[in-house]
């Protein structure tokens, strides 16, 4: 130690720099070590996948070798549900023909509730992955197997719930998957399950999700949902589970998808008490912008269809320019459930969010156009025009919102002298009205086709 100290002292006095005794690690060596570690981990992962694939193949072989033994089928399905939940197990199952084996087991043992429950769980895990996995289920006639399971076990909640979950995942696919669901009789089976277990929240959520995905398809699918009582089942579930946020969200989504259809679908919503369900959802969950956005879309689509068929009228308003026939039956339903005040209060809470503001103003303007003087009177009574000006102030650079606000002012002024007086006597509203008029003249498109959202009323 003394010699080392004396050496350091002599080096410091001479001013020489001591040589480094520790070896330096170059960046290249660090990169090489990182690559080796990555390859090692990938090799271990590949080995695990190979082992998992071998085990999946072994279970599928046992299912194919003993199709008549229910105990073998049940144990194999339990193991498969655990295996395919990790890594690429689901794609391995699809590639090796596992979907066909599961569907065959469900058909051969249709009376076994345990096998149906395990099989529907496995198919549900497969269906949520991607389009090719859903296509494999459809090709194996898995949709019919699920519907058959629901028909044979109509009093077993576990089977019905898991089948609804699997069918909802399949119906969320392309038009081929939706058509397969309808052709297999999915809608009546789902409605029956929702009716049988009305107080079971998870059952209602699964059934409503299934019907919502079908309603997002073509017009024929929406008409099928209406004719089979799907809307009534969804609205009953929303009424029964007002404290379940997920049910209200899925229910509003289903009603919104249905409102994008024809007049027949709108009438179906009214007959199922769907408008009141929308208003109640807004009032129960005022802090949820997603619900407000969906409900506003429902009334925007309804108002547009009513305006296209000439549903507007004076309805008792003073000085109306819309005629004397009064509002239609659908618009009377809108006024009876106080949809306009509910929309005003809900949109006012989320007016700083551009999608909610634009959708809300579209609904407001369309209802004013098709509701006549009574709608305008409700709008004035609940300070709806103040909300329009507030939205314009919050989104002064958003041309779409300015055009929708212009639409609100024009439709309101066209049906009621009372609204004209408000615009004339309120300087703030008059100024915003002139700004929106200028914005509308500068735009080359109309305010019914300017929304960037695909589910808007201007579709």
> In the prediction, which pLDDT does 370 show?
82
Q: What is the pLDDT of residues 75-122, one digit of tens each?
A: 887 877 777 766 577 877 888 788 888 898 899 888 889 999 999 998
Higher-confidence residue: 215 or 8?
Answer: 215
Check residues 39 and 188 and name the one with the higher pLDDT. 188
What confidence category does residue 44 fall into, taking pLDDT thresholds of 50, 70 and 90? low
Q: pLDDT-based confidence at 378, cuts 50/70/90?
A: confident
What is this structure's pTM?
A: 0.77
**Cα(75)–Cα(43) distance, integer angstroms:** 31
In whole angstroms, what is the distance from residue 271 CA to residue 333 CA? 10
> What is the tens place of the pLDDT at every residue in 313-356?
544 443 333 444 567 888 888 888 988 899 899 998 998 999 99
Helix, strand and coil content of the chain, in percent to the nearest 5, comes to: 75, 0, 25
In the block, tokens 């066909």 appear at 100
pLDDT reported for residue 257? 93
Please state the rounded mean pLDDT for residues 219-248: 92
- What tokens were used for 289? 């912008």
Q: What is the pLDDT of residue 191?
A: 94
The CA distance from 75 to 119, in Å, is 11
What does the pLDDT average to over 276-303? 92
Domain spans of the chain, in order of start = 291-459
CB 157 within 8 A of CB 197: yes
Going by pLDDT thresholds of 50, 70 and 90, the confidence category of residue 448 is very low
Please give the structure tokens belonging to residue 282: 């807004």
Distance of CA 48 to the CA centre of its chain: 36
pLDDT of residue 294 exceeding 80: yes
- Average pLDDT over all residues of the chain: 80
DSSP 230-251: HHHHHHHHHHHTTT-HHHHHHH
């Amino acid at each position: 130690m003394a010699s080392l100290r004396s050496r350091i002292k002599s080096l410091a006095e001479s001013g020489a720099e001591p040589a480094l005794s520790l070896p330096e690690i170059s960046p290249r060596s660090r990169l090489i070590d990182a690559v080796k570690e990555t390859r090692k981990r990938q090799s271990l992962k590949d080995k695990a996948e190979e082992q998992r694939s071998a085990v999946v193949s072994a279970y599928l072989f046992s299912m194919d070798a003993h199709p008549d033994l229910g105990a073998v089928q049940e144990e194999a399905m339990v193991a498969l549900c655990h295996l395919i939940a990790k890594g690429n197990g689901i794609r391995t199952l699809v590639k090796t023909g596992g979907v066909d084996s599961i569907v065959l087991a469900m058909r051969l043992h249709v009376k076994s509730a345990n096998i149906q429950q395990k099989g529907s769980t496995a198919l549900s895990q497969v269906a949520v992955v991607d389009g090719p996995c859903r296509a494999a289920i459809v090709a194996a006639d898995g949709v019919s197997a699920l519907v058959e399971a629901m028909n044979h076990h109509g009093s077993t909640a576990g089977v019905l719930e898991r089948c609804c979950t699997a069918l909802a995942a399949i119906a969320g696919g392309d038009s081929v998957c939706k058509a397969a669901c309808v052709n297999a009789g999915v809608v009546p089976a789902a409605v029956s399950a929702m009716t049988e277990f009305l107080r079971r929240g998870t059952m209602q959520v699964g059934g409503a999700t299934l019907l919502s995905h079908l309603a997002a398809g073509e017009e024929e699918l929406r008409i099928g949902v209406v004719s089979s009582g799907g809307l009534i089942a969804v609205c009953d579930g929303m009424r029964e589970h007002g404290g379940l946020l997920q049910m209200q969200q899925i229910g509003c989504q289903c009603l919104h998808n249905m409102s994008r259809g024809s007049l027949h679908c709108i009438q179906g919503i009214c007959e199922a008490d769907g408008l009141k369900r929308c208003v109640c959802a807004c009032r129960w969950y005022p802090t949820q912008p997603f619900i407000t956005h969906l409900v506003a879309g429902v009334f925007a689509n309804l108002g547009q269809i009513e305006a296209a068929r000439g549903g507007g009228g004076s309805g008792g308003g003073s000085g109306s320019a819309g005629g004397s026939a009064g509002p239609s039956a659908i618009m009377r339903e809108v006024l009876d459930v106080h949809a306009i005040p509910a929309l005003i209060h809900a949109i006012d809470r989320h007016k700083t969010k551009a999608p909610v503001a634009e959708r809300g103003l579209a609904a407001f303007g369309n209802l004013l156009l098709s509701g006549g003087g009574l709608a305008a009177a409700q709008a004035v009574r609940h300070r709806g025009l103040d909300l329009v000006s507030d939205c314009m102030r919050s989104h002064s650079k958003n041309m779409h919102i300015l055009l929708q606000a212009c639409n609100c002012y024009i439709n309101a002024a066209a049906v009621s002298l009372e609204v004209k007086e408000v615009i004339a006597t309120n300087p703030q509203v008059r100024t915003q009205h002139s700004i929106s008029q200028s914005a509308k003249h500068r735009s080359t498109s109309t305010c019914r086709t300017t929304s960037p959202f695909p589910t808007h009323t201007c579709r």
